[in-house]
Structure formats: C-alpha cells, structure tokens
Amino acid sequence: MSRVLLSVVAGLVVACSPTVSPQPVQGRTTVSPNATYFWKVTSSMVEWGTCADAADFRANVAPLPFSMNSFLIYKTDAEAKTATAQSCTALDPSTCMNSSSNVVFTVAGTELTFTRDPTTEKLRVRDTNGVERDSTCELTQLETWTMRDNGQKFELEVQNTLGLNETDMVAKECDLIEQNLISRSPNMAGVRGCVLTFKLTGDLR
C-alpha cells in the first residue's frame, strides 16, 4: 500500500553537499519570484486517521527516512505563482534541475499546494489454498500536498486518502476484502475513507 506515494515523496527529499547558496528574503508574506528555496529536513512522521490497524495493513508504511543532508527544494516561476520541485547536487541553484517527481506547486501567499491525479493499485488476496493473486478490487489513492513556508521553518503535509474502486462488477469482492480487514483490525476500521498523512518539517538554508 502507498508504494507510489512513498517513492514520490522520498524523491523530493534529496541529499546535497553543504555548500553556501543565496537565501530568499526572511520574514516574507509571499514567496519570491525566480527563487530556489532550500529546506533542510529535520523531522519526519506519519499520522493515521480512521484506518484499519491490522498489522499487515500498516506494515509497509513508515515515516519518510531522512539524513543530515536531506533537503526539500523547489524553484518559483517569474510571477511566483508556481513552484517546481528540484533535484540538486549542492546548495547552489546552478546545480539544480526539475525533479523527476513532476511535483509543481500552486503558490498562494506562502502556502504551496499540489494534488496528484488519483491512482489505483491492484490489491493482493490469498485464496482458500493459500495462493496469492491480484484481486479484481482496486485500492484508490488521492494525494494532496500542502507546503507551508513559515519564514525560517517549513511544514509539508502529504495527505493520502484511500478507498476502493467499487464498480458494480467488483463490488462483492471489495466488500469481502473490506469486511475481512475490519475483522482483523482491533479498532474495527477498514480502508474506506482512510486518510494517512506524511509530515516533514525543517529549516531554511
């Protein structure tokens, strides 16, 4: 679950050599145009909403890993209306290029937002003989990103809303999967309407 999300967010947290670079103006109410922002990641966590707490359901989801040289980087356009995620080899805008994550934020003041097109992923199920197969029921995921530029500090939240792609043809199998998950979860929750939020915080460099 959420393998795509994890790889995309991790792709934004890049390691850079600690060289000096120009810094955007402090104490701002808007971001600067044509500016590259380097944010050093200092904390990472994940929060679960009303979601199944079966051990196997949550096994592959953890806070995003980061190191002492992990940075979140983006560059604003000429009107400071959008900001494109960057991949850099040093804290120097001349070493940067657009990130393969294809994340382009919409800028409003000092808040940046991005919503990825919904994705689907085949769920794996085990039959009565213990053989795994792809289910006809699909897991749906909608990612909503919110980046808050607080001057010296930043907060990034990536909300991942989960559900089941329940067309008439697969509704029965989706119901069976959901009920099975609920029965295995001490909190009696499933996947429908589950929201998990990845959070990063850090400092401007």
111 pLDDT more than 90: yes
Whether 4 shows a pLDDT value over 50: the answer reads no
pLDDT in tens, 72-92: 999 999 999 999 999 999 999
Q: What is the pTM of this model?
A: 0.81
Query: 66-93 as b/e, with b when 16 or more CB fall inside 10 Å?
Result: beeebbbbbbbeeeeebbbbbbbeebbb
Tokens 């196997």 — which residue? 56
> How many domains would you assign to the chain?
1
Q: Which of 148, 152, 38 is nearest to 94 (CA)?
A: 38
67: containing domain: 3-204
Distance CA(167)–CA(146), nearest Å, equals 31
